[in-house]
Homo-oligomer: A and B are copies of this chain.
């Protein structure tokens, strides 16, 4: 039998509902895996094994409340938890204990899930790295900002972990570590209790090992109708291959992996076209940076005025740039984004999904940078679903992701097409 910590959440929940697996057994298996691997990976900002086991035993005494019942979940440490410290990746918040669980955390508990612990984040979910190492090769970055969530899930320490994305903070670490990463449509998961950096962009999502697991938790939290994975077997997806304006920043292996996938997708039954986005999409990386900097400058006013010496130089540089963005400049960024969102709605009438690289290459060597977010910026700004699938391997043996995106609110369709693509490229 598969070790419980290797089960997907969907498999484990079915076994728990059938009475063939106890939540306590599953949580113990996850804790054992963490005990064995944490000194190498350092994915966790905080763990309380006894608290997690107590929650699991409580779940085992109850009838299943939802498809999450008994499933352990990791929570990125920019999301508030009452029973565990929440430090936002910053020394300013050392030992900080919030007074309220974030909405998504309290919902997981209500749905019968188990909060296993807090996963590391870069400083305020920006660039300054956490302690976490890539579980596939500890000399490489796990990416960021959802570093701990990506590493823990990829390393079978937990089947699901919350992440957040403002630039590429779910997609990039998931691609680097070899997990599935899902940034849902903006506002699909409630953000109360998330430490706000950029309220126009910050999006809560999940890192998992399977596409249906990612769908399941977001559906449970949002009250969405389930994605119809039963349709995958007969789907003939219309796929738009989109180099994006940043294609030349992808390394040769990434370009080759993407290009090599196209005939395989065609042979498996997809219709495939190359999609060129209009020229204003080329402005979006810069637009994302100006928009978020304006918001960082304001959202972090308390921290930057009271504790400037505890903010990294790189973040302080970004914040200072935000002080120069006027409201008129900021409004232009919002207008550019909205115009491109509508154009993307139009483009996507012809396609079920678009595909593009998840990152510029494999996880870079070294722990001082979390890698280049460029392939995430556009899709965060577009507010639609984006998912990375661990379907390729790079030249040094580290994972490479394929990114699948859709326009706003197309989550169910995007998830089903992503699962089709995953099967076509790996099964």
Contacts and interface: CB of A to CB of B under 8 A. Distances in A.
Interface in A276-294: 294
Contact of A199 (B100, B102, B192): B192
A63 interface: no
B107 A298 contact: yes
A191 B196 contact: yes
25 contacts: A82-B302, A100-B303, A101-B302, A102-B302, A103-B298, A103-B299, A103-B301, A105-B302, A106-B301, A106-B305, A107-B298, A107-B301, A110-B305, A187-B199, A188-B327, A190-B299, A192-B199, A192-B298, A193-B196, A222-B327, A223-B294, A223-B325, A223-B326, A223-B330, A224-B327
Interface residues of A, number: 45
Interface string A321-365: 000011110110000000000000000000000000000000000
Contact of A99 (B93, B190, B295, B327): B93
A225 interface: yes
Copies of this chain in the oligomer? 2
Contacts of A191: 196, 199
Contacts of A107: 298, 301
A331 B103 contact: no
Interface string A163-180: 000000000000000000
A271 interface: no
Given A110-B301, A190-B199, 16 more contacts: A98-B99, A103-B299, A103-B301, A103-B302, A107-B301, A187-B199, A188-B327, A190-B298, A192-B199, A192-B300, A193-B302, A222-B327, A224-B328, A225-B326, A225-B327, A225-B328
